[in-house]
Chains A and B, each alone.
Chain A
Amino acid sequence: MLDVRNFTFEPLFSDLSFSLQKQETLLVRGANGAGKSTLLRMFAGLIRPKANTLFWEKKAVELSTYQQNLLYISHKLALHSEALVKDQIKLWQYHYGVRKAVIEEALELWGMLPFLNKKINYLSQGQQKRLSLSRLHWLVRSLWILDESHTNLDADGRKILDNALAHHLESDGLAILASHEKRPSTREICL
């Protein structure tokens, strides 16, 4: 599905190639500052990769269509810090054209529904992370790119995330994760 040929970003990494099939997970592992985030941003097309280095379904990607297949959540959570949680839901509705009920269902799963009237600024780091990760449940995309998603989550939250990942892979999804920790039984690139 996703093929990468000769990704280069001097001086962090050069000539990086691999291919990722359906139901596969790739873990990008490395120390702080090794270029994990940079690499993930290149996968997402936010740093424009050079021509003919990124292929989706055997075709060289055309960024704006390719980006409709992916869900990218970085350590920047893409939340409106000034907004209430319910305002954020409204903004998501405008932005993604998703129904409110679907989002609220996902929030319930992540245990965020009681905080509808709270300002996002006042939520704890872990709660903000949960809110941001709820996207995994209400946005249907086949390629997940998650940057350090397990940090700041408690055991419960990690479980929800891992369940979501497992389910995503079962339904023919792909996932790319970045972390500095090892994960059992996943392919990994070590930067």
Chain B
Amino acid sequence: MILRELYNAYLHKGSLLSTLGFFSLSLFCTSFALGQSEVILKRSAPALIWILASLTTFFSTPHLLKREAEGGLLDEILLHPCLSSTYLVSKVIAEWVFVALPLICIILFFSPMFALASHELLSLCLTFLIGFPALSALGNLGSLLTLNTQGGGILLSLIILPLTLPLLIFGLSVMEMTQLGLDSSSSLSFLMGVSLFLSILGITIGSWALPLAVER
């Protein structure tokens, strides 16, 4: 199942390109709009990057699922003997590989714009990689819930963003600790716990939502 999802995600490299394009363009615009002041840039970089990255994830996840639903592939998944949660888990893994890692590359590429030091950059990437499974699981849940509506990414963000608030808070507190030069391990373990919990929650409820989404 994981192989299938990885392969499937690989097939949609075209839409991946536009996702990455959207992310880098929005990063560029915000950093440009914030002006030249290094202090402000440095202060706001983690928050901006986190929010833009989660928005990008929420705009990109529904695409793949919608494609699959339209083609009748979700029926095939449901008829398969393995659990629908397995499908969601493999989807999260595939997204981690094919969305999170490229996003990290873009963050690294754009980091000079935000005047981030290397250890700050490292912890930013780390928090994002840890938080991403929860983002992706909740994003997939949201796309399943909005599958039969016209809302798309905007409705998805509206219903899912409030739920990801803990991730944002702990991710950013890790960053803050690092920027202040303090020990960030407690926040980091909080982040891990929250991310794990939200992933499990998203996948469990998502596996309930899958048959409901396919019923029509």
Listed in ascending order, the chain A residues whose CB lies under 8 Å from chain B are 41, 44-48, 64-65, 67-68, 70, 72, 74, 76-83, 87, 90-91, 94-95
B154 interface residue (CB < 8 Å to A): no
B50 to chain A, nearest CB (A): 30
Q: From residue B35, how far is it (CB to closest CB) to chain A in Å?
A: 41
B residues in contact with A67, CB < 8 Å: 78-79, 81
Partner of B4, one of A78, A81, A95: A95
With beta carbons under 8 angstroms apart, the residue of B3, B11, B73, B214 that contacts A46 is B214
A46 touches B215 (CB 8 A): yes
Nearest Cβ on chain A to B170's Cβ, whole angstroms: 36
Query: Which residues between 64 and 79 of chain B lie within 8 Å of chain A, taking CB atoms?
Result: 67, 70-73, 75-76, 78-79
Are B70 and A82 in contact (CB-based, < 8 A)?
no
State which size class the interface on B falls in: 20 to 34
Q: A67-B81, A72-B79, A76-B75 are in contact. Are A91 and B211 (CB under 8 A)?
A: no
Chosen A-B contacts, 7 in total, with CB atoms closer than 8 Å, are A78-B72, A81-B71, A82-B14, A91-B7, A91-B8, A95-B4, A95-B80
Chain B residues within an 8 Å CB radius of A44 = 75, 79
Q: Which residue of the partner chain, among B8, B73, B75, contacts A72 with CB atoms under 8 Å?
A: B75
A77, B67: Cβ atoms closer than 8 Å: no
B4 to A74, Cβ gap below 8 A?
no
Contact call B72/A76, Cβ cutoff below 8 A: yes
Q: How far is the CA of A41 from the CA of B7 in the complex (A)?
A: 28
1/0 contact string of B1-41 vs chain A (CB within 8 Å) = 10110011001101000000000000000000000000000
- Closest chain A residue to B73 by CB distance? A78
Cα–Cα, bound, A74→B69 (Å): 12
Taking CB as reference atom, which chain B residue is nearest A47? B215
- Enumerate chain A residues within 8 angstroms of B71, measured Cβ to Cβ: 76-81
Q: Other than A46-B75, A78-B75, A80-B71, give 17 A-B pairs with Cβ distance below 8 A.
A: A44-B75, A46-B215, A65-B81, A67-B79, A76-B70, A77-B72, A78-B71, A80-B11, A80-B73, A81-B67, A82-B14, A83-B11, A87-B7, A90-B7, A94-B1, A94-B7, A95-B80
5 interchain residue pairs of minimum CB distance: A76-B72, A94-B4, A78-B72, A82-B11, A78-B76
CB contacts (< 8 Å) of B11 on chain A: these are: 80, 82-83, 87
A83 / chain B contacts, CB cutoff of 8 Å: 11
Interface 1/0 per residue, B125-136 and A, CB below 8 Å: 000000000000
CA distance A64 to B3 in the complex (A): 22
| Identity of the chain B residue whose Cβ is nearest the Cβ of A87 in the assembled complex | B11
- Note all chain A residues with C-beta closer than 8 A to B78: 46, 67
**CA–CA, A76 to B74, complex, Å?**
10
Within the complex, the shortest CB–CB distance from B63 to chain A, in Å, comes to 11
Alpha-carbon distance A184/B76, docked complex (angstroms): 31
Q: Within the assembled complex, what's the spacing in Å between the Cα atoms of A78 and B12? A: 16
Specify which chain A residues have a CB less than 8 angstroms from the CB of B4 in the assembled complex: 91, 94-95
Bound form: Cα–Cα A41–B214 in Å: 10
Per the bound structure, the CA–CA distance linking A87 and B81 in Å amounts to 22
Contacts of A41 in B (CB 8 A): 215
Q: Chain A: which residue is nearest B68 at the CB level?
A: A80
Contacts of A87 in B (CB 8 A): 7, 11
Chain B residues near A78 (CB-CB < 8 A): 71-73, 75-76
